[in-house]
Amino acid sequence: MSKTVYLTTPLTEEAVRGLELDDVVYLSGEAYTMMYPQHFTRITGMVKAGRPLPMELSGRAIYNTGTIFRRRTDGSYDFRAIGATTSSKFNAYTPEFLRLTGVRAVIGKGGMDRATLEAMEACGCVYLAVVGGCSAIYTPSVEIEGEYWPQPSWADNQLKLRLDRFGPLFVAMDAKGNSTYEASAGAARARLPEIYRKLGIE
């Protein structure tokens, strides 16, 4: 039976490994946006080179997301909306990133691949799925605290977020090697012969 859990970063490995598929999580604390491949490659490159990072990632969450905001003249943020992007775009980068940084949670939509699931199991990390299309529910629980490596378009900047009971988030890939997405795909494949038969497809 699923449970509702309130967690705050930095997350411990014990807390993350205690989560199970379909648990509902409300997350507080630090999180960092990861919207483009270069966000991953820049950080992994710095870690491999032994260069210090401008943020603390161990025990924190990353969020595959885009944001709508503008910077006011006084340096504060007029923050309007946040919404998840499809996490599978980052399948190629996430496993190594998790192993190098100690990130404990990935927030996004759509799920990720088997290699990422295996990295999550090895490192003690979970995938927390948002409800797509519900930015109005999630945005009030987020504040922007800072930016890294400014780009010509502010929307491309990597952001530090402060979450306050951000949710509901659903454990869709746990740290035990289980994935809601794999289970759903398996169930669908099992029904294909029956569907093909009813449609008269050989």
Beta bridge partners of 2: none
The mean pLDDT of 161-166, rounded to a whole number, is 98
Residue 3 in this model has a pLDDT that exceeds 70: yes
Q: Is the pLDDT higher at 177 or at 132? A: 177
Please write the tens of the pLDDT for every residue from 68-92: 888 889 988 888 999 899 999 999 9
Amino acid at 161: L
Q: Mind telling me the catalytic residues?
A: 39
Q: Is 0.95 surpassed by the pTM of this model?
A: no
Looking at residue 192, its pLDDT comes to: 66
Query: What are 152-163's pLDDT values in tens digits?
Result: 766 678 999 999
Average pLDDT over the chain, rounded to an integer: 91
Residue 105 near residue 83 (C-beta atoms within 8 A): no
Please check the confidence at residue 188 and state whether its pLDDT lies above 60: no
Q: By CB neighbour count within 10 A (0-12 exposed, 13-18 middle, 19+ buried), where does 104 fall? A: buried
Spell out the residues 6+ positions from residue 152 whose beta carbon is closer than 8 angstroms to its own.
Answer: none
Find the distance separating the first CA and the last CA of the chain, reported in whole Å. 40
